[in-house]
Amino acid sequence: MFQGETAITIDDKGRLAIPTAYRDLIARACENRLVITYNPFESGCLFLYPEKEWERVRDAVNALPGTLSAHRRMQRNLVGSAAPVELDGSSRIGIPASHRSAVGIEKKAVLLGMGDKFELWSEQAHHAQIRQTISDEDLSEHMLELRL
């Protein structure tokens, strides 16, 4: 559904304008309702889910047994920190100040379409991430099967 990289500017009120290419998709997929939460795997990044996809993720994460600390951390980072956001009349969404601060998003950010969700990266974290290469030691069995 979503793919591509877009440089984004966050305005003084903490809002970002959804790129034109995604507006119709978001309207159809979730009636302009999204959920923003922390990426529990990488710092400097937020996840932005269409509402229905979020409900699936939320339910799967909440089904994890709370007896393991990694499960509780994931539940806190994803579910406990989730915030609903809705596109306004100018196709902007507000990013909660706590979320922006925690991942280091100030004025410049990068929005990545990742299929079923978006990743919203601080510009610095995104640049650091894309500079990392995948070594032979990093390759999984699944990656070796890819025909790129």
Q: Going residue by residue through the chain, which has 148 residues, state the pLDDT in tens, using 9 for 90 and above.
A: 899 999 999 999 999 999 999 999 999 989 999 999 999 999 999 999 999 999 999 999 999 999 999 999 999 999 999 999 999 999 999 999 999 999 999 999 999 999 999 999 999 999 999 999 999 999 999 999 998 8
pLDDT of residue 55: 97
- In angstroms, the CA 94 to CA 133 distance is 33
Nearest to 99 by CA among 10, 8, 17, 1: 10
pTM given for the model: 0.93
pLDDT of residue 62: 97
Residue with tokens 């070594």: 135
pLDDT of residue 68: 96
Q: Can you read off the two tokens belonging to residue 12?
A: 């003084």
pLDDT of residue 148: 87
Residue with tokens 């640049």: 127
**Strand partners for 2:** 115
DSSP secondary structure of 34-94: EEEEE-SSSTTEEEEEEHHHHHHHHHHHHTS-TTSHHHHHHIIIIIIT-EEEE--TTSEEE
